[in-house]
Structure 1
């Protein structure tokens, strides 16, 4: 059981850290770059990313890390280890709720709405302005949550 727990924590720390890095890139420069180009080009670029990402290796990282976090939460409860289990539960909750579920509840519906718009008319401009602000805000949440999950998993490993 100990080796399964250690390997799970290492994989979850790496997975959530990599996801945090991807989200960090969007929060710190990709969305800013999109805000500086014409709306029609920004929408086309973001729509292209949204189509590409669901068929990319990112999904092979994002979804399995969420599943692994659920396994870690179960292991934390089954084999309670005080501080380590609390950190394991915190990391799992941060990743699953604030990174994975928030993506499904907030970012994906915004992506779906953006996919229905093209061009640079007033409707597209208004949607893009709202999208850019709201999508980026939720991306900041995902970035921070994924990073804190990674830190919690590393810290749990240190005190096991």
Structure 2
């Protein structure tokens, strides 16, 4: 039983660290990256964001982003089976916050916006029109996923510390 508890602790710790790393990335975009891109000429802002959207798909980021999701799925299921244990609710809430508020929002809102942006030429009229709405919509959804990742980190911290 001690080995199972130790493994569960390690998984909670990895989920906490992953949520924290992702929260930091999304916070940076909300706090200053998108503001900086908005100050560029639309052609340059579009081109920069298109490059960001390509380069973010790399093994290191995707391992942390999706790996944290995988751990949260496991923790979610495990927490349902360990419901009688102290502080299990924090694991459940933290996992749900990451899975729905971070991963889900990315898949259903930010990625489609990124895909639409990828289709326009930065110097086109359509690109400039899209850019204005893209900045507002993408940043709004990024605030949501940043807040969800921060809240997930807090919940998993409570699960570990209390």
**TM-score normalised per structure 2:** 0.94
Q: What is the deviation of 1:122?
A: 2.8
Q: Does 1:153 align with 2:156?
A: yes
> Which of 56, 62, 81 is the equivalent residue of 2:65?
62
Per-residue Cα deviation, 1:95-117 (whole angstroms, up to 9, x for no partner): 00010011010000100000011
Whole-angstrom CA distance in 2 between matches of 1:64 and 1:18 = 12
Q: In structure 2, do the counterparts of structure 1 residues 83 and 3 end up closer, same or farther at CA, with 3 Å as the change threshold?
A: closer
Q: Which runs of 5+ in 2 are unaligned?
A: none
Match of 2:49 in 1: 46
Whole-angstrom CA distance in 1 between matches of 2:5 and 2:51 = 43
Q: What is the deviation of 1:125?
A: 1.4
**TM-score normalised per structure 1:** 0.96
Q: Does 1:135 align with 2:138?
A: yes
Match of 2:123 in 1: 120
Q: In structure 2, do the counterparts of structure 1 residues 148 and 83 end up closer, same or farther at CA, with 3 Å as the change threshold?
A: farther
Number of residue pairs the alignment of both structures matches: 159
Match of 1:103 in 2: 106
CA RMSD of aligned residues (A): 1.1
The ranges of structure 1 where at least 4 consecutive aligned residues each deviate by more than 4 angstroms after the TM superposition are none
Q: Does 1:20 align with 2:17?
A: no
Whole-angstrom CA distance in 2 between matches of 1:56 and 1:107 = 19
Please give the secondary structure, in 2, of the residue aligned with 1:23: helix
Whole-angstrom CA distance in 2 between matches of 1:132 and 1:56 = 26
